[in-house]
Structure 1
């Protein structure tokens, strides 16, 4: 029946658009705006395919002999819509900021990665007090990390955690207590910069970390999740 073929065709098209969006951006085939548009249309088509398949499954003469195709259309359509919709939900659930630091009063500064940020849409300087206010409201758990270890050991642990995260280490300077790295996001391949600062604190150490996106007004919570993941690796 034509309804089965239509539902399956739309579902497959949605999957193709979704699967092409990120890799195409990574390969330089289209700009960021196009990648987001592909995701948006993938969601629309996925919803349409899911709805068509659901309706068709409720019609006996359409369903007869084509349950497998309709089930495939339903599942592929739902999966194609789920990813973009979840991304949109996350983006709307967090403030539109892209510079996250455990120390918003005196954030760690970028040094070694500055040449890599040349031409980036977001400047390397800290985004300012409004960003700090929004961060404290959205991510109150992101605070300096205190360790009962001397800075030398704390630095080694911080570096090991950064390497465990798969970051590209750009600089490691034990004397200055600074680690700089580049983190690449999975789907779109965005390059975000990270700096870790290790300083003496009494008989132990204080560690601060900052993660900043090179592009985009909002990071959809990526930098905060990255810092939390690194913190978990550090304290493990």
Structure 2
């Protein structure tokens, strides 16, 4: 009768559960800080420096949550408490997913030059006109910094203009359609140039784009420039944007 009333105490007592819950709390706090860092800056609630501080704090908490998750697995496995073991494994897995993007950003920052303005024409970069005012109010320069040319050539030497074998009107129509498909905010469209702004999803960074069309004997040459308004390094974003855009544009012109 007594054995049916008094159940044996689980091995380890409450500690496997307590440690598991600690990992979950740290994980939720880390996720809130890391996700909120970009949102807070995007909505102009905090400065860029503060948002990066929040991101770092979130990453540190995530690492702590991962460590607690591993401790949970060890303690719970020793005590043969399989539910806390699963919680610890899930916590550690979630941490790996959370820190993957910041880790990738850090790796890219070390592999690309600390520049934020990229162009397909280093000798005569396309100039911003409609967006000159917005860029003048931002920290980064309006004109292409010529000191970037050597670093750009070394890092992105294959980046170059393309030539579309179509009339000027068709080339501009393809350019405008490709810009609209990417959701960029068009600032100005002329007969041979287009200016637009691309906004990143997480932090809402504004990167300005100018596309210049020039008639040649082979068709229409497309030159492009993409420049960030803030930040010394763009982590390779502008070069990737230009290359991806020109690839899509060439494919659209061939259709």
CA RMSD of aligned residues (A): 1.5
Q: Are 2:228 and 1:213 equivalent residues in the alignment?
A: yes
Show the counterpart of 1:42: 58
Q: Are 2:206 and 1:191 equivalent residues in the alignment?
A: yes
* 1:35-78, Cα deviation, whole Å (9 max, x unpaired): 11111122222122112212321232456131232133212322
* Equivalent of 2:167 in 150, 164, 188: 150
The alignment covers a number of residue pairs equal to 233
Show the counterpart of 2:143: 125
Checking the alignment, whether the CA contact within 8 Å between 2:215 and 2:221 is kept in structure 1 is: yes
Runs in 1 of length 4+ with deviation above 4 angstroms? none
Q: Are 2:74 and 1:58 equivalent residues in the alignment?
A: yes
Q: TM-score, normalised by structure 2?
A: 0.86
Structure with the greater alpha carbon radius of gyration: 2
Checking the alignment, whether the CA contact within 8 Å between 1:195 and 1:211 is kept in structure 2 is: yes
Checking the alignment, whether the CA contact within 8 Å between 1:42 and 1:81 is kept in structure 2 is: no
* Equivalent of 1:6 in 18, 22, 30: 22
Q: Which runs of 5+ in 2 are unaligned?
A: 1-14
Q: Are 2:156 and 1:139 equivalent residues in the alignment?
A: yes
CA distance in 2, matches of 1:136, 1:166: 29
Show the counterpart of 1:166: 183
* Equivalent of 2:95 in 67, 70, 77: 77
Q: Are 2:128 and 1:110 equivalent residues in the alignment?
A: yes
Q: Secondary structure of the equivalent of 1:182?
A: strand
Checking the alignment, whether the CA contact within 8 Å between 1:181 and 1:193 is kept in structure 2 is: yes
Q: Which runs of 5+ in 1 are unaligned?
A: none
* Cα deviation, residue 80, structure 1: 2.3
* 1:76-105, Cα deviation, whole Å (9 max, x unpaired): 322222221112112221100000001111
CA distance in 2, matches of 1:63, 1:15: 29
* Cα deviation, residue 26, structure 1: 0.9
My pick for the range that moved more, 34-43 or 187-196, is 34-43
Q: Are 2:30 and 1:30 equivalent residues in the alignment?
A: no
Q: Secondary structure of the equivalent of 1:66?
A: helix
Would the alpha carbon gap of residues 62 and 141 (structure 1) be closer, same or farther in structure 2, given more than 3 Å must change? farther
